[in-house]
Amino acid sequence: MILEAFTLKIKTEQILKFEENFLKASEIINKSKGYIKHELQACKEIKNQYLLMIYWETYENHMVDFRNSEGFKEWRALLQDFYDELPTVLHYDRVVYP
């Protein structure tokens, strides 16, 4: 399992519309090959900042399967105009298992 994580900074005046569109985008990613689950968290300290975590079966499920899919184009079209700055995407492998 791989964790894709990134911080999103959203244009303050578009926060509500972003959250509405994110629900639509969630329906797209839920159907993607290798998708496990995702979480969107709103930052308490910074009003327009979110943490998005998406769990995939493999790194390739995100970087190859999803990124080359029609779903990715739809996802991007629904969300990209809300970013105050482009997010940096990082991938993580679990190290410690409880």
CA angle 2, 57, 65 (to 5 degrees): 100
CATH 3.40.50.150 fits 2-57+71-93, yes or no: no
- pTM beyond 0.75: the answer is yes
Burial 53-88 (b: 16+ CB within 10 A, else e): ebbbeeeebbeebbeebebbeebeebbeebeeeebe
> pLDDT digit string (tens) for 9-67?
999 999 999 999 999 999 999 999 999 999 999 999 999 999 999 999 999 999 999 99
